[in-house]
Every structure is written in C-alpha cells, then in structure tokens.
Amino acid sequence: MIRFLQITDSHLFSNRAHKFLGIKSYETFKAVTELAKKHIRDRGADFVVFTGDLSHDGSEKSYQHFVSLAEELSVKKIWIPGNHDRLKTGLKVLENAGISSQKVIQQDHWQLIFLNSFWKWHIAGKLSKKELQFLEKTLEQGEELKNFVFLHHHPLKLNCKWLDGSKLKNSDAFLEAVHRHKNIVAVAFGHVHSEQKLTFHGVDYLGSPSSSVQFMTKEQQFKLDAVMPGFRWFELYPDGHYETGIERVAMHSDFLPDLSSKGY
C-alpha cells in the first residue's frame, strides 16, 4: 500500500506577516503542516506532494519560508508548480532543500505521474507539447499498472464561471489521453482551493482544500468560504482501489478570511 498526502496552494510571501485575503498564509500553512505531522505520526506516509502555488509573490524568501515549514515533515517531498510559482526561483531553493521535482513514482502496482501545467504569464494552465508526449509515453510504459495523475490546474469544468476561466486550457488534449488509456484511476489537482470529486468516463477527478484561503465554487462570482484550511490524504492498495479523505485544522478566528473580498 502507498500512503501519501496532498498539500496545495500555500500562497506564501516574502514577508511572513503579509495578509492574503485577510489571513496570514504563513500561519495557515504552518497550522496545516503541524496537522500533517500528526497524521504522518499516527497513520504513516511515504511522501507528501505539494501541488502548486507554493509562493504567491514568487520571491526567493517566500520559498525559503516554505522550506522552513515543509522540512519538518519527516518524509519524502515532491512539488509541482502552479500559476503563481516562479520556476527558476522555486527550483533553486526547493531542490537545494531536497524537495524533489521528480515526474514518476512506481510502487506496489501503481504509477504516479506528476505534470507541470504552469503557463508563463497566465493564470490558467496549459500542458506543453513535451508534457503531453511525456504523459502518453509514461502511460504506455505503465500499461500494466494502475495510474494516478497530479497537476495544479483542474481539467474539468466545475460550473463556476470565474474559476473555470483559469482551468487547464488544453484540457481536451489531456482528457483525450486519459480516456484513451484505460489504466488511469484518478486525477488530483490543486488551484480550486476546495474539496472536489467529479467522475468522468470512469475516472475520478479530485480537488483539495488549500492550505491558505478556501473558495466557494458554487458561486458564479468570486467568493471566499469560511471553512478552515487542510489537506487531502490518500491510501492506494495493490488491488487497484484507493481511499482518500480530507483533514482540516481546528476553527481559529485568525484563519477566517475577509469574506467581503472581491478577488485578488
């Protein structure tokens, strides 16, 4: 069995005291990593994957703050970028800290694939031609395995007008690859700052709460949710089935965002 956590969208700044939509994202990320430490201690984990928007301002200092908290998690750590990340800066700081940008894990009849949907100067995501070719080749090579795919941007519409405008732009090409191969069990993503589960052509699509602010995805205009930050955990079994769940930090007034915010 493979056990791991998905932590996403920490949105850190060079100044740890900076407020993001009414909350100090450094403090919420710290609380989430503390909760993750307890989960790992109690239930175990093989690794943690951070699915993008580790930084909000792209500064070297923000990634250093990220490392200072993430390194307290006593397991392997993997990251993929989101639209707010800066690839060169992130790679420099994170790789030096031993936080990996590896693309594939094969273990216990499973293959886990980590994709880069970063599209420079855009909020929306896009998989490059090279990244799509990598996905195709890796799925073909892992034909006998059960596959789990990770990326930052959501590939399916949530029927949320303001958020769907920044989903994966070439999702048709991605979905075509997913459905052509019959060995994909699920796709997990960040970006939507909310718990999601959709099933399309037999594949589960899973969104995770963020480790900063949460979004109301049933609204057609930008709106924040008062639920607490958290993470998603996974357990993948050799027979091809999986279990997943959400853990959130305890209610804290300091973690309540400015619900009157109209965007950022």
User: What torsion do the CA atoms of 164, 140, 119, 60 make, to the nearest 10 degrees?
Assistant: 120
Nearest CA-CA partner of 32 in 58, 3, 6, 64: 6
For the chain, the farthest-separated pair of C-alpha atoms sits apart, in whole angstroms, at 50
Please indicate, yes or no, if residue 235 is contained in any of the structural domains.
yes
Q: Contact, 28 vs 211, CB < 8 A?
A: yes
Residue 98, SS3 per DSSP? coil
Q: Residue 52: left (phi > 0), alpha (psi -120 to 50), or beta?
A: left
The residue range of the domain holding 217 is 2-255
Q: Which of 182, 97, 183 is nearest to 145 (CA)?
A: 183
Q: Is 123 helix (H, G, I), strand (E, B) or coil?
A: coil
Vertex 145, ends 107 and 246: CA angle to 5°?
Answer: 65
In a domain, 153, yes or no: yes
Residue 148: the pLDDT is 98
Q: Which two tokens stand for residue 158?
A: 């949530």
Q: What pLDDT does residue 41 have? A: 97
Task: Identify the pLDDT of residue 152.
Answer: 98
Q: Is residue 264 part of a domain?
A: no
| 135 three-class SS | helix
Number of domains into which the chain is organized: 1
For residue 137, the tally of other CB atoms under 10 A from its CB is 10
For the entire predicted model, the pTM comes to 0.97
Tokens of 95: 């790789």
Is 263 inside any structural domain? no
CA angle 134, 136, 139 (to 5 degrees): 105
Residue 261 lies in a domain: no
Rounded to the nearest 5°, which phi and psi values hold at 199? -125, 130
Residue 71 domain-assigned (yes or no): yes
Mean pLDDT by runs of 10 across the 264 residues of the chain is 98 98 98 98 98 98 98 97 96 96 96 97 97 97 96 97 96 96 96 98 98 94 97 97 98 96 90
Residue 34 in domain: yes
pLDDT number for residue 264? 86
Query: Where residue 50 sits, what CATH number does that domain have?
Result: 3.60.21.10
Please check whether residue 203 lies inside any domain of the structure.
yes
